[in-house]
Amino acid sequence: MSATTRPSAPTPTAPGNLPLIGHAHRLARDPLPFLTSLRRYGSAVRIRIGPSPAYVVTDPALTRRVLMPEIMEGTIRQTILPPGSPDCRCPPIALTPPASPACGP
């Protein structure tokens, strides 16, 4: 590890995870309130959809950092690959809507 790299803190996990279904019940019942409520836990939050982990990015600045290299290279995928599919190399990621319409590029 270089002198400029800090070890990262573990990603917080959203509360309300149920055995076998994870947070799927909350996503199915009230998806927008559930996703926007995750902001209080951090800029990136781990949820579970069934037995699979997924990460929700709740901070607009972090969303740009995650997506900009792919947007600039023109390699951003238009499809969502389920975990375990041949092309999927990482858990799925979700992006929450901005806190206000004033959030811009």
Does 17 or 99 have the greater pLDDT score?
17
Amino acid, single-letter form, for residue 57: V
Average pLDDT, integer, range 58-63: 85
| pTM, to two decimals | 0.60
* pLDDT band for position 103 (cuts 50, 70, 90): very low
Residue 11: per-residue pLDDT: 87
**CA separation for the pair 63, 59 (Å, rounded):** 6
The answer, yes or no, to whether residue 26 has pLDDT greater than 50, is yes
The answer, yes or no, to whether residue 87 has pLDDT greater than 70, is no
Residue 33: per-residue pLDDT: 92
CB atoms inside a 10 Å sphere around CB 34: 19
Which CA distances in Å does 50 have to 23, 35, 41, 63, 76? 7, 16, 21, 24, 26
* pLDDT band for position 79 (cuts 50, 70, 90): very low
Mean pLDDT, the chain, whole residue set: 73
Does 94 or 85 have the greater pLDDT score?
94
